[in-house]
Amino acid sequence: MAPVKKLIVGNWKMNMNVHDASIFVHKLADEIKVHRDVEVVLAPTFLALQPVSLQIDRRQFKLAAQNLYWRDNGAFTGEVSAAQLRGLVEYAIIGHSERRHIFREHDKDIRNKVQAALRNNIVPILCVGETAHERSVGEMLEVIHDQLIGGLANVTSEEISRIVIAYEPVWAIGTGKNALPEDAEKAARAIRRQITHLYGEAAAKEIRVLYGGSVTADSAATYLATGGVDGLLVGGASLTVPSFAAIAAEAHTGEKR
Ligand code: PEP
């Protein structure tokens, strides 16, 4: 089995217009070195995907959509489908906590989106994680379990190797509060246990598990060294060139600033 590449995903959320995104990518390209053991993925606004795709070297950067709609086409005003993103992005973030909590996406929507992504050759980055309340009542592992069951319901054992899971505790996203590395490890192990149970040991070993939640250039190395964590989903710190470049550099084994 090929060694797992570290995956660093920058989720720009609803920031930067097309012009800003282009300038940002131009600057980032000067700072991020290409390494065989690291994959750097950019998730700009939908609008910027096409222009950025023409600008990047795919060996240096891959692209992700921040969301998608699960029907391939039709009367769904304002939505963007996986079929429309096909060939443009390698990844799609699905079930991000902002989608779950602000836009009220439920497991059914999320599992349909996972299916739509797979059907269109896009790797879903399925986000799971507990709220502060769920954590305070000791439900962290139950929430992860239920969200995995919900999101992966129709995923076959052939498809599971094409999925990435991101553990993102809701209370840590954009708050400056970090999960302890022990918590990230506990979550990553629970995710792999469940994948073992559902799809077998080989699938659990192969699947990539990311941590996300207020990761900075200073904390990245700790999470990347955490057992079971294969990469990072980064929001705020992906919006400045020095911090995102430093995080990507941390992912390359042996390269330290
Ligand atoms: C995210 O958007 O998925 C995220 C983890 O954001 P932040 O790094 O800002 O917490």
Q: Is the four-CA dihedral 170, 48, 247, 159 of positive or negative sign? A: positive
Instruction: Going residue by residue through the chain, which has 257 residues, state the pLDDT in tens, using 9 for 90 and above.
Output: 556 799 999 999 999 999 999 999 999 999 999 999 999 999 999 999 999 999 999 999 999 999 999 999 999 999 999 999 999 999 999 999 999 999 999 999 999 999 999 999 999 999 999 999 999 999 999 999 999 999 999 999 999 999 999 999 999 999 999 899 999 999 999 999 999 999 999 999 999 999 999 999 999 999 999 999 999 999 999 999 999 999 999 999 755 44
Q: How far apart are CA 222 and CA 116, in angstroms?
A: 34
Do the Cβ atoms of 80 and 69 come closer than 8 Å? yes
Of 35, 39, 96, 252, which is the active-site residue?
96
Helix (H, G, I), strand (E, B) or coil at 121: coil
Catalytic annotation on 168?
yes
- Distance in Å, CA 161 to ligand 1 centroid: 24
Quote the DSSP letter at residue 3.
Answer: P
Contacts of 30 (CB under 8 A, 6+ apart): none
Pocket of ligand 1 (CB under 6 A): 11, 13, 96, 168, 173-174, 212-215, 233-237
Of 39, 168, 185, 250, which is the active-site residue?
168
Helix (H, G, I), strand (E, B) or coil at 66: coil
- Distance in Å, CA 156 to ligand 1 centroid: 29
- Distance in Å, CA 13 to ligand 1 centroid: 9
pTM across the whole model: 0.96
Do the Cβ atoms of 208 and 165 come closer than 8 Å? yes
Q: How far apart are CA 191 and CA 167, in angstroms?
A: 9
CA-nearest of 210, 208, 216, 251 to 232 is: 210
Do the Cβ atoms of 95 and 113 come closer than 8 Å? yes
Determine if residue 166 is left, alpha or beta; phi over 0 gives left, psi from -120 to 50 gives alpha, anything else beta. Answer: beta
